[in-house]
Amino acid sequence: MEQDFNFDELNKKIEKESAFVQMIRMEMNKVIVGQKHLIDSLLIGLLSDGHILLEGVPGLAKTLAITTLSKIINVDFSRIQFTPDLLPADLIGTMIYSQKQEEFVVKKGPIFANFVLADEINRSPAKVQSALLEAMQERQITLGSETFYLDKPFLVLATQNPIEQEGTYPLPEAQVDRFMLKIIINYPTKDEEQLIIRQNIAKEFPTAKTILNKESIINARNVVKEIYLDQKIEKYIVDIVFATRNPEEYGLPHLKNLISFGGSPRAGINLALAGKAYAFIQGRGAVFPEDIRAVCHDVLRHRIGLSYEAEAENIGADQIISEIINAIEVP
């Protein structure tokens, strides 16, 4: 009985604490038409302190989504357009000599913001990509002999264009692994597209209101950590990750030749974190198997290496993940 009582208390607390999620969605929907999955993914990344890699053709509101979210939460936002001639100093900043002070002073780069949009990250060479990914992982930047800690919350939303691959520098697997989620954005429906056109030719484009501050997000992150994750769900997560490495042990021998490498330990950690954040935005105090299934594709699709055989047969990571989810027993 005591345990049931605790669950009731936790559910009530989460329901109360997650009320702002609906407010964020309402404000986002004023500006963004459709793209519910993108909005929920941004919230998951924000609440579980994870970064997001977005893949989609130009014009699907990637930039608009993150600028709108930064306005709703009243945080610093910066957009960095990645180009082949970009240098790490353009990103993190540099030391410049001040004649007035007769010493070197720090000039901070655009990475010093709460929300950073790294537009077309695969257009820049490895040096620049690694400078960004180091900041993402360590949450700090060293300039000269000084180390600067990045302000919380710190969310990087990196985009890559799936069409033009000429003159691009694909992200190495070890770097891609640092992104919590990889989101694929699709075209809007006919009705959504009609509404997009109507909004954009109207006299005034709709704007979102500021309804939250940084402290409320940091507080919400602490509440998300309290969400209950049962050992059975932990085992479910481990089974999913292990099935990407040894599919033959889970009755999926035909996948063995399609996968060159499976998910790293980060895959399991991020499935658990994203599952908790997903339960939170649903207003629940415990993680259910369907929460893990809901975030599974976004957490795993960039962590599974496809073999030449898979590419030859035109089998993608999403198809493999779906087969794994369907094969593993739900607790």
CATH code for the domain in which residue 239 is found:
1.10.8.80
Q: Domain check: are 254 and 184 in the same one?
A: no
Residues 148 and 204 in one domain: yes
Pairwise CA distance, residues 184 & 227, whole Å: 27
249 is a domain residue: yes
**156 strand-pairing partners:** 116
pLDDT for 180:
92
Residues 248 and 211 in one domain: no
**Amino acid at position 133, single letter:** L
Q: Is residue 9 part of a domain?
A: no
Range of the domain at 97: 18-217
119 in Cβ contact with 79 (< 8 Å): yes
Shared domain for 65 and 118, answered yes or no, is yes
Residue 59 placed within a domain: yes
Q: Dihedral of the CA atoms 247, 252, 258, 261 (nearest 10)? A: -10
Residue ending a domain, among 194, 217, 240, is 217
Same domain flag for 192 and 232: no
Q: Any idea what the CATH number is for the domain that residue 188 is in?
A: 3.40.50.300
**CA separation for the pair 192, 33 (Å, rounded):** 6
Q: Are 35 and 171 members of one domain?
A: yes
- Which tens digits make up the pLDDT trace of 285-331? 889 999 999 999 999 999 998 889 888 888 888 998 999 899 888 88
Which domain-ending residue is among 170, 186, 217?
A: 217
In this structure, the answer to whether residues 188 and 320 fall within a common structural domain is no
- Kindly state whether residue 264 falls inside one of the protein's structural domains: yes
- Whether residue 5 is contained in a domain is answered as no
Note the pLDDT of residue 146. Answer: 79
Q: Please indicate, yes or no, if residue 13 is contained in any of the structural domains.
A: no
The answer as to whether 270 is a domain residue is yes
Q: Are residues 105 and 231 in the same domain?
A: no
- The pLDDT of residue 2: 39
| Structural domain count, the chain | 2
286: exposed, middle or buried (C-beta count within 10 Å: 0-12, 13-18, 19+)? middle
Q: Which residue has the tokens 């962590």?
A: 303
Among 44, 23, 92, which residue's Cα sits nearest to residue 298?
44
With respect to residue 11, please indicate whether it lies within any of the assigned structural domains.
no
pTM of the full structure: 0.86
3-state secondary structure string, the chain?
Answer: CHHHHHHHHHHHHHHHHCHHHHHHHHHHHHHCCCCHHHHHHHHHHHHCCCCEEEECCCCCCHHHHHHHHHHHHCCCEEEEECCCCCCHHHHHEEEEEECCCCEEEEEECCCCCCEEEEECHHHCCHHHHHHHHHHHHHCEEEECCEEEECCCCCEEEEEECCCCCCCCCCCCHHHHCCCCEEEECCCCCHHHHHHHHHHHHCCCCCCCCCCCCHHHHHHHHHHHHCCECCHHHHHHHHHHHHHHHCHHHHCCHHHCCCEEECCCHHHHHHHHHHHHHHHHHCCCCECCHHHHHHHHHHHHCCCCEECHHHHHCCCCHHHHHHHHHHHCCCC
Same domain, 207 and 242: no
Give the pLDDT score at 274. Answer: 94
Domain match, 209 and 242 both: no
* Low-confidence residues in the chain, pLDDT < 50: 1-5
Q: Same domain, yes or no, for 49 and 161?
A: yes
Supply the pLDDT for residue 307: 86
Both 258 and 174 in one domain: the answer is no
Domain final residue pick, 188, 217, 246: 217
At residue 166, the pLDDT reads 59
Reading the block at residue 110, the tokens are: 């655009």
